[in-house]
Amino acid sequence: MDNKELLGDVVASIVEKTLMNLGINRYTQVRDILADSNLSFSDCYQNPDALKFALGQVFANRHLAVVEEIRSEIGGLADDDESLAGFLQKLSA
């Protein structure tokens, strides 16, 4: 398993955990929107625009608050990895 795959799995777990904390219905809605594009949570790290779109559809104006929760869960990992910092930046844009 290479670094991108590992980071993808970590990001997927964090995104899923964050969404589950916000409610199973919201989690399911985001999952279904991703599935419409043949993506899963494991694909989000490589496809941040798809995750951003799904969060925007489900959370509307609150999607940035969800991104901040994801950022908080990722914590210092983004400080050590430029691509992870870029992922978070794309979600926030």
User: How many domains would you assign to the chain?
Assistant: 1
The residue among 1, 4, 34 whose CA lies nearest residue 16 is 34
Is the pLDDT higher at 75 or at 39? 39
Using the predicted structure, report yes or no on whether residue 79 has a pLDDT greater than 60.
no
CATH number at residue 9: 1.10.1200
This prediction's pTM: 0.89
Domain containing 72 equals 3-92
Q: Give the pair of three-digit tokens for residue 38.
A: 């043949």
Task: Give the C-alpha distances (Å, rounded to integers) separating 82 from 76, 86, 87, 92.
Answer: 12, 6, 9, 15
- What pLDDT was estimated at residue 86? 87
Least confident of 40-49, 62-71, 78-87: 78-87
**Interval 1-48: pLDDT, tens:** 567 788 889 999 999 999 999 999 999 999 999 999 999 999 999 999
